[in-house]
Amino acid sequence: MNMKTCGIIAEYNPFHQGHIYHIQKTKELTQCDCLIAIVSNHFTQRGLFNLLTMEDKTKLALEAGCNLVIELPPCYAAQSADYFAKYAVESLSQLHIDQICFGSETNNISTLKEYSKQMESTQVVPSLSMNQNLYTKNIRPNDILGIQYIKQCEKYGITPCTIARNDSFKSATQTRKEYFDGISQFNDDYFNKNQTWDTHYPYLRKFLLLSDTNTLSTYFLVNEGIEYRLKENAKKYQKWQDFLMASISKTYTKARIQRTCMFILLQITKAQMQENNHFNQVIVSGFDSVGQEFLKGKQVITKFKELPKFLQDIELKCQYLSFDTFKARKVVYYDR
């Protein structure tokens, strides 16, 4: 059966009503037979711990109408917009999907392509991240990602389409804030309140204090002497928020500090990321009968032992961080 396919790229940290709207509108707009979501696991694009397990995210996404959910591992998820898009679309392209649909403030592919051209012709400040250079043009977050999705789609012959961002839905950021302020949230039975930097900072702090700066400098995203600043701040500050705010600079945004700390905590080196700088795998997290049919004959990963050694090591470290003993990878099947 030749299915019409569409991909969406998501975090689901946490999964909220705006995500249900995105799934439903994507199906309505594209009329796809199979909707595939690639979802960040363990950590988000901004380097935050995920409040939900991958299994729970998958269950909720399938219930909401996705047919297949695949995983974006933390080393590929916790990246600036350009690399986050690169890795997500690389994985989706292995399934030869027809379209990608994403939320956008502008909601216009032509305008986003024009932004992309302007961005390329603008002098880039080397010390700033891609996001910071774009923010000088007052381009909003979903559009920043959208520009990068479009650029990646062009490489693989995938058609990009957009859905207008609906601000009537509470954002994931607001949901998290209210939840930690003690306000009940949609589906908060699935949230793990211990999956935060506040909880894990003591481990990061000890590691920073016990490691010499030469060792720290080998980890991915540790550049321009940030290792000295992080080590010094670890000596001074016992609370994550104090440490984080003291570490932010013009060069290192809040998100960049969080990502950098993630790579240090997981001990992922620059050499490892250089060696694994493409994500050409499809790691299956769950499917319904349509997704199962679509996967027939395709090369995908469904078991831990099938993961490359690099990703096996990261998965184990993330599970240890979540205070779990190792749990075998379980593919979720949703029976409609």
In which band, very low, low, confident or very high, does the pLDDT at 141 lie, cut at 50, 70 and 90? confident
CA 11/CA 60 separation, integer angstroms? 12
- Measuring CA to CA, which residue among 241, 243, 211 is closest to residue 227? 211
**pLDDT recorded at residue 324:** 61
Q: Which residues make up each annotated binding site for ATP?
A: 9-22, 103, 142, 165
The predicted pLDDT at position 126 comes to: 46
Per-residue pLDDT, averaged over 285-295, amounts to: 97
Dump pLDDT digits (tens) for 233-280: 999 999 999 999 999 998 899 999 999 999 999 999 999 999 999 999
- Going by their DSSP bridges, the two strands 34-40 and 68-72 should be labelled as parallel
What architecture (CATH level 2) is domain 5-173+278-333?
3-Layer(aba) Sandwich (3.40)
Instruction: Tell me the average pLDDT across 48-62.
Output: 96
Q: Per-residue pLDDT tens for 1-43?
A: 689 999 999 999 999 999 999 999 999 999 999 999 999 999 9
Residue 322 confidence (pLDDT): 80
Q: What is the average pLDDT value for the chain, to the nearest integer?
A: 92
Cα angle for residues 192, 194, 199 (degrees, 5° grid): 160
Binding positions: 9-22, 103, 142, 165
pLDDT tens per residue across span 258-270: 999 999 999 999 9
- Of 3, 99, 22, which Cα lies nearest the Cα of 66? 22
Interval 68-121: pLDDT, tens? 999 999 999 999 999 999 999 999 999 999 999 999 999 999 999 888 877 776
Q: How many CA atoms lie within 13 Å of 145's alpha carbon, on the beta-carbon side?
A: 24
Bigger pLDDT: 114 vs 156 = 156
What are the domain boundaries of the chain? Answer: 5-173+278-333, 197-274
- Note the pTM of the prediction, 2 decimals: 0.94
